[in-house]
Amino acid sequence: MSESNRDYFNPLGIPDEISEETGTIEFNLESSNITDTSVNGILISDVQRGTSRFMLRSVKGLDLIFSHWNVNTGIREATVNLQGLDARKWLYVAFTWSKQGINLCVGDLHTPNLRCSKGVQREATVMLAKDGELCQVGGEGVHLSYVRIITDGEELLSSNAWQTWDLTLMKVNKLFEGFALSNDYFFKSTLAQQCLVMLVTGFEVYTRERFGEIERFKLKPADTEELLRAFDANNRHEPERNTFIANGGTKLESILEVPDERGIINFQNWDKCKKAYKKGYGIVFGKLLVKGEILGRLHDYFGYRHKIIHSKYEMNCLNSDKLAEEEPQYLYTETLKEGQRQLIERARDDFQEFIGALHEATTKIA
């Protein structure tokens, strides 16, 4: 049994090789007590296969519930009421799953029609721990913006790429509130610059983490050979990668981690990030569903971030070296014309739109 396959309770004999994409399991129960209202609940099956978990249980003899967990589709539950069914003799049960939805059907010898139910999405996130186990984070009325679990000094679980990006946006929006709290222009321009730095860093963290998740969440395997030809054609780090893989890492993980836990792809470089997604997964940034001018502006933001971090000059005016040919562009200005927005606000929205489109593309990748 692979590390990510777990049999918590498997009397149905669900095999290791079942498809996570789509499938159906059907069986008959004979002389069952699942409709016994004196029993609080009965677990019929609970198994994990890869990045999916399949649970079937009865609750107080009244309902049969099929729960499907998946890192890409979250938690969905289908419920069929059992009242009036005669499980003491014979009961037919079938449940199905796919990206589009899940279903549960139940019937007995005396019922002419099956009772069927479609799945309902639950308010919870499914995360894949480093040891391969699926975990539920959050729930009804509970929203977690960030999570990290460390056991015996080892990280067991941490927020996924989208959660981390969402947290970055929350922080940037919170900093935006500072513009109204002070009349100090220097403070406001400094705040705007730090927001841009955070947005570019958030982009890097999201694109790097999501790059690994696409394969790890079984959306699509990465073309590692194409990535190596593009980013390490001379095999400079091949010995280190081989050692990493021999110690249990995957080939893609070795590309992202070797050398020095940085890997061979710089996701904070717009052109290299763009090349990585095209070579690794066939995702073309230019074909994402965003306004065309956003791509050019995003490219510029990376250069602006570099200037803010490394230049000795004040960088609220982003194009100070081109003022002979261009109108000045200020990240923050107190002389906005009617209908204008602060450039830093436009930058935030550009990043938000692009990463939203990229994330959508990765969920529908084929």
Query: 266: which residues sit within 8 A by CB, 6+ positions away?
Result: 272, 273
Question: Rounded distance, CA 156 to CA 135, Å?
Answer: 11
Phi and psi (nearest 5°) for 46? -160, 105
Q: Name the CA radius of gyration of the chain, rounded.
A: 26
pLDDT tens, residue by residue, 14-65: 999 999 989 999 999 998 889 888 999 999 999 999 999 999 999 998 999 9
Stretch 178-191: mean pLDDT, rounded?
Answer: 91
At 349-364, the pLDDT tens digits run 999 999 999 999 999 9
Write out the two tokens for 338. 């009617």
CB 115 within 8 A of CB 81: yes
The length of the chain is 366
65 contacts 77 by C-beta, under 8 angstroms: yes
Give the residue among 364, 31, 52 at the shortest CA–CA distance from 214.
364
- Residue 22's CB is within 10 A of a number of other CB atoms, namely 10
Q: How far apart are CA 305 and CA 307, in angstroms?
A: 5
DSSP state of 145: S
Residue 153 CB contacts under 8 Å (≥ 6 apart), including other chains: none
Rounded Cα distance, 98 and 102, in Å = 6
Q: Find which of 65-69, 86-90, 111-115 is predicted with most confidence, using mean pLDDT.
A: 65-69
Tell me the β-bridge partners of 103. 96, 118
- What would the mean pLDDT of 242-265 be, rounded to a whole number? 95
Residue 282 CA to chain centroid, in angstroms? Answer: 18
Share of the chain above pLDDT 70, in %: 99
| 218 Cβ contact partners less than 8 Å away, ≥ 6 residues apart | 20, 50, 51
251: nearest Cα among 234, 238, 269, 267: 238
- Look up the pTM and report it: 0.88
Is the distance from CB of 57 to CB of 39 less than 8 angstroms?
Answer: no
Kindly list the domain boundaries of the chain, sorted by start residue: 6-122, 161-363
Where does the pLDDT of residue 321 fall: very low under 50, low under 70, confident under 90, or very high at 90 and above? confident
pLDDT of residue 14: 95
CATH number for the region 6-122 comes to 2.60.120
On the question of pLDDT at 328 being above 90, the answer is: no
Band the pLDDT of 3: cuts 50, 70, 90.
Answer: low
Q: What percent of the chain has pLDDT over 90?
A: 73
Across the chain, mean pLDDT equals 92
Q: Which H, E and C letters describe 244-310, residue by residue?
A: HHHCCCCHHHHHHHCCCCCCCCCCCCHHHHHHHHHHHHCCCHHHCCCCHHHHHHHHHHHHHHHHHHH
The Cα–Cα gap between 128 and 217 comes to 8
Measured at the CA of 118, the angle between CA 115 and CA 123, to 5 degrees, comes to 135
Give the residue among 276, 286, 132, 295 at the shortest CA–CA distance from 211: 276
Measured CA to CA in angstroms, residue 196 lies from 177, 308, 342 at distances of 15, 9, 12
Contacts of residues 198-201 at CB distance under 8 Å and 24 or more positions apart, as own/partner, are 198/168, 198/171, 198/172, 199/168, 199/172, 199/301, 199/347, 199/348, 199/351, 200/268, 200/301, 200/302, 200/305, 201/168, 201/268, 201/305
Burial class (CB in 10 A: 0-12, 13-18, 19+), 147: middle
